[in-house]
Amino acid sequence: MAARPRLSTAARAVLGTVLGAVAARTAYAALRRRPPRGEATWTRTNHRGEPLTLLEGPAFAAGAGAAAAVVPGLPVKVRAAALLAGLGSGALGAYDDLYGAASSKGFKGHLGALARGEVTSGAVKILGIGGTGLAAAALVSRGPLDTVVNGAAIAGCANLANLFDLRPGRAIKVGLLTGGPLLAASVLRGSPAAAVAVAVPLGAAAALLPEDLGERAMLGDAGANALGALLGLAAVTTLGRPGRLAVLGTVAALTAASEKVSFTKVIAANPTLNRLDMLGRRPVEPKKADQVEPIEPVGSVEV
């Protein structure tokens, strides 16, 4: 009996993208029909003062997780790492979405509160995502040093993605722009496991982008943390040690910068970045004479 022809790396990547997209849309539709603990639990007010839902985040985490569980081409350890990183970060992000307080902000704020003996939801998330990142890294790494580097990269990417989730579609656009080259590199190198690992979250994110750009929903901590963690995992399974160290250094530098600089102001001041940021979004309404634009504090995003 003739053996079944094996799918090419490109075909596996396409399949992963489609499965991620279908699973995310299915999860979003199901959550919108029957929101856990009621719709009001997940409703927030955006920068325009309009209501939107945070259910996009759990839908992304659940959809990407379901697709990673069934998509062909993932070794058992990579599949387990994807489930651990994505669902773990998503669950911790959802906890912060629902129970987080605004009293402490940023790494400095949460760790400072922890030093004073106050355990904030953000501190729980920092420690939890660090733990799940290391655990996921241990499944795909060679030796303790690689595990530490890879775990820090996964956790750092989870946090960094959340720092961009301040305007419609921004975090997903950053994810697509950074994940796209990883996907192309994996396909060109003929690395099916790496290609599938990055294709699944990219497909899930792209499928939910219209809801985000339309200001009907947002990723929140649950979705942004899960997206970043999965892309971080894809990076550490695709790149060699120099590339992984470069990713970790870049993530650390941007995270440190976020404590001092507003990403939104930097993007708005750069014409190219601003055009990309506004692509597909509703136009910004002109401010009324008596309307004062709210100030975005530096490091204001929950980590």
Mean of pLDDT values over 2-11 = 70
Token pair listed for 253? 């530098």
- Tell me which of 78 and 299 has the higher pLDDT: 78
Length of the chain: 303
Residue % of the chain over a pLDDT of 70: 84
- Rounded to an integer, what is the distance from CA 109 to the centroid of its chain? 21
Least confident segment among 105-114, 137-146, 249-258: 105-114
Question: Predicted confidence band at 124 (pLDDT cuts at 50, 70, 90)?
Answer: confident
pLDDT value at residue 105: 60
Residue 96 lies in a domain: yes
pLDDT value at residue 212: 95
Q: Provide the residue range defining the domain that includes 61.
A: 9-278
pLDDT value at residue 117: 57
Statement: residue 118 has pLDDT above 80? no
- Mean pLDDT score across all residues of the chain: 87
Q: How many CB atoms lie within 10 A of CB 264?
A: 16
Residue 116 lies in a domain: yes
Could you give the angle at the alpha carbon of 222 between the alpha carbons of 220 and 226, nearest 5°? 120
Mean of pLDDT values over 233-237 = 94
Residue 273 lies in a domain: yes
Residue 195 lies in a domain: yes
Residue 240 lies in a domain: yes
Question: Predicted confidence band at 108 (pLDDT cuts at 50, 70, 90)?
Answer: low
Residue 51 lies in a domain: yes
Residue 2 lies in a domain: no
In the chain, the number of structural domains is 1
Residue 137 lies in a domain: yes
Query: Is this model's pTM higher than 0.85 or not?
Result: yes
Statement: residue 110 has pLDDT above 90? no
pLDDT value at residue 278: 94
Question: Predicted confidence band at 290 (pLDDT cuts at 50, 70, 90)?
Answer: very low
pLDDT value at residue 13: 94
pLDDT value at residue 286: 61
Evaluate whether 241 touches 72 at the Cβ level (below 8 Å): no
Separation CA 47–CA 179 (nearest Å)? 27
Across 54-108, the runs of DSSP E, i.e. the strands, are: none
